[in-house]
């Protein structure tokens, strides 16, 4: 089967219009209801064996955890993430008890599913999400001290974008998605 034409015309608008802003509107707060819906969307994500191996630390401007997260941001992400209405630290449960007892080999993948659900829900609510890893992972892990078996994976900045969608950003062609992983194809 060959991929359809490379046009987002038939793609659902929640997916076609999604983008990761590099600027957020600092005056646009994320209220409790919105936060609850974002977390509810993540809760409904599929996971291996329904293990749901994800967890989140959420922090909004003015909350103690927000001030706690900011010093760990890399300068490249601090320029835009600090203005988001919500910062989310994503965690996955990789082990139970001792580090040699694996919880789920799919834990990181399952966390990605939950984050994708949260991202689509944000888009449906007129918000934007920018996932990132530009922060000091070791220092953040030491500061937050996750429970044994849990690991911080990434962060998400969510809020109202302070820039128009960049619909013309380059995406790899669909054909590349099918061919790239296979070294024997040239």
Query: How many whole angstroms separate alpha carbon 25 and alpha carbon 80?
Result: 9
Give the contacts of 158 (CB within 8 A, at least 6 positions apart): 30, 38, 84, 85, 86, 87, 88, 118, 122, 127, 128, 129, 130
Q: What percent of the chain has pLDDT over 70?
A: 85
Mean pLDDT across the chain, nearest whole number?
88
pLDDT band at 162 (very low <50, low <70, confident <90, very high): very high
- Tell whether the model's pLDDT for residue 49 goes beyond 60: yes
For residue 2, the model assigns a pLDDT of 42
23-163: which CATH topology?
A: NADH Oxidase (3.40.109)
Average pLDDT over residues 50-62: 95
For residue 167, the model assigns a pLDDT of 55
For residue 10, the model assigns a pLDDT of 85
For residue 180, the model assigns a pLDDT of 60
- Tell whether the model's pLDDT for residue 58 goes beyond 90: yes
- Tell whether the model's pLDDT for residue 7 goes beyond 80: no
| Number of Cβ atoms within 10 Å of the Cβ of 112 | 18
Average pLDDT over residues 28-36: 97
Q: Residues 44, 104: contact at Cβ < 8 Å?
A: no
Q: What is the DSSP letter of 113?
A: H
pLDDT, tens only, 108-159 = 999 999 999 999 999 999 999 999 999 999 999 999 999 988 999 999 999 9
For residue 132, the model assigns a pLDDT of 97
pTM of this structure: 0.87
Average pLDDT over residues 83-88: 98
Average pLDDT over residues 7-25: 85
Query: How many whole angstroms separate alpha carbon 31 and alpha carbon 59?
Result: 11
């Amino acid at each position: 089967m060959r991929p359809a034409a490379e046009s987002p015309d038939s793609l659902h608008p929640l997916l076609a219009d999604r983008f990761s802003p590099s600027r957020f509107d600092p005056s646009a707060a994320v209220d409790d209801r919105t936060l609850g819906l974002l977390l509810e969307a993540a809760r409904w994500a599929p996971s291996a064996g329904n293990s749901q191996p994800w967890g989140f630390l959420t922090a909004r401007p003015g909350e103690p955890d927000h001030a706690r997260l900011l010093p760990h941001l890399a300068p490249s992400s601090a320029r835009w993430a600090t203005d988001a209405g919500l910062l989310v630290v994503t965690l996955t449960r990789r082990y139970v008890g001792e580090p040699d007892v694996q919880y789920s080999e799919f834990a990181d993948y399952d966390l990605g599913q939950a984050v994708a659900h949260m991202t689509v829900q944000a888009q449906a609510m007129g918000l934007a999400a920018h996932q990132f890893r530009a922060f000091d992972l070791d220092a953040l892990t030491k500061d937050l001290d996750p429970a044994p078996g849990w690991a911080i994976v990434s962060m998400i900045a969510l809020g109202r974008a302070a820039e128009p969608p960049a619909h013309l950003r380059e995406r790899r062609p669909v054909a590349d998605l099918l061919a790239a992983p296979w070294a024997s194809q040239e």
